[in-house]
Amino acid sequence: MAAQILDGKKIALQIREEVAVQVQKFYEIKRVQPKLVAILVGDDPASAVYVRNKELACKKAGIAGEVIRLPHQTTQIELLAKICELNDEDTCHGILVQLPLPAHIDTRTVLDAVAPEKDVDCFSPVNVGLMSQGRPRFLPCTPHGVQQLLGRCGIDVQGKHVVVIGRSDIVGKPTAMILALPTGPFGKSNANATVTICHSQTQDLASVTRNADIVIAAIGKARFVTAEMIKPGACVIDVGMNQTPEGLCGDVDFDRVSQVASAITPVPGGVGPLTIAMLLRNTLIAAETQTN
Ligand code: NAP
């Protein structure tokens, strides 16, 4: 049996079009254009591409996108001063600090400096706390993208056993949290799952994942999840993005797992495109709340 391929590109496009319509309506009522400012420190080529893609996506949605490019040798104090300036700037609604930062800068200190109401990545402890209490200001982009992808593909997580492999602050932990929340935070969305979180110290990982109705892989290891780890008919969401000599690939052995699963995301073209779509949505929410 070949799995249904979950087309993240198509769903991301749908969401981006919805956001563009809402941005236009918001502008007509408030005469305010939502604005996202991305800060890029250093010259990491992958980060430069990510930031450029976000800038283009903003433009297509009618959101003003600005990139502040700072040299590698920027000090932590200089970066914090720039963030404070943006926190106080009324025309800037969302601030995004592109990661990774150079090693001489403490990432946590910098992320904590972003005003919570402009923290469109949802990294601030205030926003993570609100999310965990089921009253989010924003939802983190990649986990929210996973939730939207599942919901819009007709895969209901309610009451299902979801196994998340990975417990990072960016992907694993918040994905587990939002799927386990009792109600969908933004209208009717996918929630109420029974969630297990696995990590590098989990014993006999395959015996846990084989019990899952839905496996979400956020590990950062190419083709780590094999067909033997998947219950026949389960759904598999691959968040991984790994550069290999053969090109970009996910954390899941797509060719073999797609013979066992009922539905699977490809890499590229699965979760990745959803992340930017949800960032645009958060920027609109930020503009709406700061304008009201
Ligand atoms: P991360 O911070 O490195 O976290 C990886 C997680 O995987 C950790 O919790 C780690 O466990 C766990 N892990 C590592 N080896 C394992 C093993 N052998 N068995 C079980 N668990 C294991 O990575 P991340 O930021 O969450 O990113 C994960 C992947 O998603 C990466 O490929 C990244 O590029 C990709 N990503 C994609 C998007 C997107 O838009 N599609 C966005 C963000 C990230 P410990 O906690 O025990 O170390």
**Whose C-alpha lies nearest to ligand 1, atom 5?**
219
- CA–CA distance, 198 with 44 (Å, rounded to integer): 30
Angle formed at CA 133 by CA 235 and CA 149, multiple of 5 degrees: 25
Indicate if the pLDDT at residue 117 is higher than 80.
yes
Ligand 1 center to residue 220 CA distance, Å? 4
Cα separation values, 112 from 23, 120, 123, Å? 28, 13, 8
Q: Which residue has the higher pLDDT, 188 or 155?
A: 155
Ligand 1 center to residue 239 CA distance, Å? 9
Q: What is the mean pLDDT of the chain?
A: 96
- Pocket test of ligand 1: the residue of 121, 148, 171 to mutate, having most ligand atoms within 8 Å of its CB, is 171
Cβ-in-10-Å burial (0-12, 13-18, 19+) of 67 comes to middle
CB neighbour list of residue 267: distance below 8 Å, 6 or more residues apart: 238, 240, 241, 248, 249, 250, 252, 254
Structure tokens at 197: 């979180």
- Give the per-residue pLDDT at 190: 80
> 40 phi and psi, to 5 degrees?
-115, 120
Task: Please give the number of the atom of ligand 1 that sits closest to the Cα of 171.
Answer: 26
CB neighbour list of residue 247: distance below 8 Å, 6 or more residues apart: none
Residue of 153, 121, 156 lying closest to 9 (CA atoms):
153
Residue of 106, 100, 111, 110 lying closest to 48 (CA atoms):
100
pLDDT band at 282 (very low <50, low <70, confident <90, very high): very high
Ligand 1 center to residue 219 CA distance, Å? 3
Indicate if the pLDDT at residue 206 is higher than 80.
yes
List residues near ligand 1 (CB under 6 A). 142, 165-168, 170-172, 198-202, 205, 218-221, 239-242, 271-272, 275
Taking only the tens place, the pLDDT of each residue in 83-111 is: 999 999 999 999 999 999 999 999 999 99
Task: Please give the number of the atom of ligand 1 that sits closest to the Cα of 221.
Answer: 32
- Give the per-residue pLDDT at 188: 55
Taking only the tens place, the pLDDT of each residue in 150-166 is: 999 999 999 999 999 99
Cα separation values, 218 from 15, 197, 241, Å? 23, 11, 9
pLDDT band at 292 (very low <50, low <70, confident <90, very high): confident
Residue of 149, 111, 142, 117 lying closest to 130 (CA atoms):
117
**The tokens 């926003």 sit on which residue?**
127
Ligand 1 center to residue 87 CA distance, Å? 30
Indicate if the pLDDT at residue 187 is higher than 90.
no
- CA–CA distance, 235 with 153 (Å, rounded to integer): 11
Active site residues: 54, 98, 121
CB neighbour list of residue 27: distance below 8 Å, 6 or more residues apart: 33, 62
Q: Is residue 149 within 8 Å of 5, Cβ to Cβ? A: no
- Give the per-residue pLDDT at 189: 63
Task: Please give the number of the atom of ligand 1 that sits closest to the Cα of 165.
Answer: 21
Number of Cβ atoms within 10 Å of the Cβ of 108: 10
3-state secondary structure 138-182: CCCHHHHHHHHHHHHCCCCCCCCEEEEECCCCCCHHHHHHHHHCC
